[in-house]
Chain A
Amino acid sequence: MTFQSTDTYVATSDLSLAVNAAITLQRPLLIKGEPGTGKTLLAEELARSLQTRLITWHIKSTTKAQQGLYEYDAVSRLRDSQLGVEGVNDVRNYLRKGKLWEAFESGERVVLLIDEIDKADIEFPNDLLQELDRMEFYVYETDETIRARHRPIIVITSNNEKELPDAFLRRCFFHYIVFPDAATLEKIIAVHYPDIDKALVDEALAMFFQLRDVPNIKKKPSTSELIDWLKLLLADRIPASALRERDPGKAIPPLYGALIKNEQDVQLLERLAFMHRRQSR
């Protein structure tokens, strides 16, 4: 079973190799890359192409490692015991299973996505070392060890907001999604908009790469922004010719709101356009 590009997702050769190596050697795969290059999408597509379930654990700044294993709700048990509710004797009724537990006890091999691990506290990855390594953890309340019946395929994404500890990195395979080149981008666009006008794609891509090449731009537009922008261009029926008459004096592309998300960048482009107008005079 190998992972390759699907009809909805374009995977470069090094990305499919990374995924296949992680599956074969049963290691977590850590994915980094510019925002909008399809890190989260990868896990979804992987689950789809392996025809299995995707379990997603979204990490927030308040997430604790224990929440991924289980939580013991002592308060409801205490309250239930006073009201004499049925089943209060069994502690199992008051253990809330976390995403890791869910993945471990699944009857088939699932894909577990730990999304944006860098959002959590700086010690968070260290608290998961043992669980990811051995794929088991110990439940104190019931005195039992939960072992993975089928080792899940673990995909971890990070946006580089915090550095991850070395001990954690040692246990992962690491892949950095490079920003796709023009040929790959064309493939990606073809996947999203199969019957788009070729001329429009060419012009839009030229303009898009020009924009990414502007020095000192704060937030470079990425793949997902390009897809959104094309959708707008299509919806507004903007012809390829409108993009072609590129007057350098007008550096701002039409419907730029989908591409540029930062007002400083808009100002930068306006300044560049202004300087260009003054020079050409």
Chain B
Amino acid sequence: MLIGLFNAVRAAGVPVSLRELLDLHGALKAHVAFADQEDFYELTRLIWVKDERHYDRFDQAFGAWWQGVASQPLTPDAVIPEDWLRRDFMRQLSDEEKAAIEKLGGLDALMEAFRQRLAEQKERHAGGNKWIGTGGSSPFGSGGFHPEGIRVGQGGNRSAVKVWDKRQFRGLADDAELGVRNLQMALRRLRRFARHGAQEEFDLGGTIDATARDAGLLNVKMRPERRNAIKVLLLLDIGGSMDDHINACEQLFTAARGEFKRLTHYYFHNCVYERLWQGDGGTYSNSISTMEVLRTHPPDTRLIFVGDAAMAPYEITHPGGSVEHNNPEPGGVWLQRLAVKFPRLAWLNPMPQDSWNYTVSNRLITEILGPRMFELTPKGIELAMRELVR
């Protein structure tokens, strides 16, 4: 009987394997949960779902299965955008208004109406009394008032209709194929081990050698641990067109910081000029001269640019071309300088590769740096790392 649920959950994109199905049978046999639908739901989730990001998909699949209806395709438009539900304001309703709101019918009618309403509605809505949104008096939404309303999002209310319909794990769902673990595995390729620093590892060969020289009297030798000695300089484009990719960049940064002990990072806006920023904000006080970065990093530093390389062409070709300040030298000159000082470099672009040729600036950068631009995907990063260790 559980095969149907198993297939529904798998179809919803939750990675469940046969082993977990058998585990659930085992748990039911052991009477961990018995004749209680809520317990059964919690038990199934405990055994089948291994990541809180999948909770939301599981809830949807479980809800659909429980009602005996075929699971609807979980396309993005079946998901309520988070910002519709953000509580901008609390609307106070007068008593007459409250009295005017009547029940829509039974529970089933309410659920059905909710689905219909969701299908009709196309944009965010706040206030008002029909659409799903914030602070209104429609029965659907959040932070509003309706005696028999469905509360969407902002879970934690035990009295809500059904636990799995609360979809309280919506905020944890994350469809990025670009997991931090994937990225880290891709970044691992960039390793160059060397020994330096404090001597804290036992050197077996050295000890035997020294002991033999001392005519058998033990002479312990220690040596520094093997560490990844690679030096990485990460230059990230922020602001403007990069806002859409902030998530991907954060994941890359998290993965890189975990992987490389010697990582420095700076930010630039659109193109690299005479100053780089150490944090966001873009004030002069937290910026550093690009010349100084060039001077203080040894030439075997691996340089990684992260940016969409989408800018006005004259930002690269002309002095004074920057959108923010009057730059005495064009961006292209600075790119050139970086490329000469750090011959091992790669550019990671969060945009899909097919779109690169549509921007002139992209072609200009490829002309300066050579064909060393890669997609910001685990695959692209692997290619980039291969380029960097060459």
Contact = CB atoms under 8 A, between A and B. Distances in A.
Interface of A: 13-14, 17-18, 20-21, 24-25, 27, 30, 32, 75, 78-79, 82, 122, 161-166, 169-170, 172-176, 178-183, 213, 215
A215 B86 contact: yes
B37 to A, nearest CB: 13
Q: Is the interface of A mostly helix, strand, loop or mixed?
A: mixed
A75 B220 contact: yes
B27 A78 contact: no
19 contacts: A17-B39, A18-B42, A21-B27, A21-B43, A21-B46, A21-B47, A25-B32, A75-B202, A82-B216, A122-B181, A122-B185, A162-B184, A163-B179, A163-B180, A163-B184, A164-B181, A170-B50, A178-B156, A181-B156
Nearest to A16: B42
Contacts of A14: 42, 46
Contact of B20 (A170, A175, A178): A170
B50 A172 contact: yes
Contacts of A161: 258
A176 B55 contact: yes
B300 interface: no
Nearest to B49: A174
Contacts of B55: 176
Given A122-B181, A178-B168, A24 B218 contact: no
A76 B47 CA distance: 46
Interface in B326-363: none
B52 interface: yes
B62 to A, nearest CB: 14
B168 to A, nearest CB: 7
A78 B218 contact: yes
A30 B46 CA distance: 10
Contacts of A173: 46-47
Contacts of A183: 158
Contacts of B17: 170
B157 interface: yes
Contact-residue bracket for chain B: 35 or more
B282 interface: no
Given A17-B32, A18-B42, A21-B32, A32 B27 contact: no
A170 B50 CA distance: 8
Nearest to B23: A25
A246 to B, nearest CB: 14
B91 to A, nearest CB: 16
Contacts of A182: 156
A34 to B, nearest CB: 10
Contacts of B258: 122, 161-162
Contacts of A169: 50-51
B382 to A, nearest CB: 16
Contacts of A32: 52
Nearest to A170: B19
A276 to B, nearest CB: 13
A158 to B, nearest CB: 11
Contact of A17 (B42, B52, B185): B42
B155 interface: yes
Contacts of B50: 30, 166, 169-170, 172, 174
B87 interface: yes
Interface string B64-77: 00000000000000
Most B C-beta atoms less than 10 A away, residue of A17, A24, A25, A183: A17
B248 interface: no
B312 interface: no
B184 A181 contact: no
Contacts of A165: 181
A82 B47 contact: no
A100 B184 CA distance: 28
A46 to B, nearest CB: 16
Contact of B158 (A79, A170, A181, A213): A181
A74 to B, nearest CB: 8
Given A17-B32, A24-B30, A82 B217 contact: yes
B118 interface: no
B15 interface: yes
A13 B36 CA distance: 12
B224 interface: no
B230 interface: no
Interface string B31-67: 0110000110011001101111001000000000000
Given A24-B30, A25-B27, A162-B258, A175 B46 contact: yes
Nearest to B154: A213
A162 B55 CA distance: 19
A82 B32 CA distance: 59
B298 interface: no
Nearest to B41: A14
Most A C-beta atoms less than 10 A away, residue of B27, B155, B217: B27
Contacts of A18: 42, 46
B85 to A, nearest CB: 12
Nearest to B157: A181
Nearest to B47: A173
A13 B43 CA distance: 11
Nearest to B163: A14
Contacts of B33: 17, 21
A68 B26 CA distance: 30
Nearest to A33: B52
A140 B341 CA distance: 51
Contacts of B179: 163
B381 to A, nearest CB: 15
A198 to B, nearest CB: 21
Given A32-B52, A164-B181, A183-B158, 15 more contacts: A20-B32, A21-B46, A24-B32, A25-B23, A30-B50, A78-B218, A165-B181, A166-B50, A169-B50, A170-B19, A170-B50, A173-B46, A176-B172, A181-B158, A213-B87
Given A24-B32, A170-B20, A181-B156, A79 B218 contact: yes
A181 B151 CA distance: 15
Most B C-beta atoms less than 10 A away, residue of A14, A27, A78, A181: A14
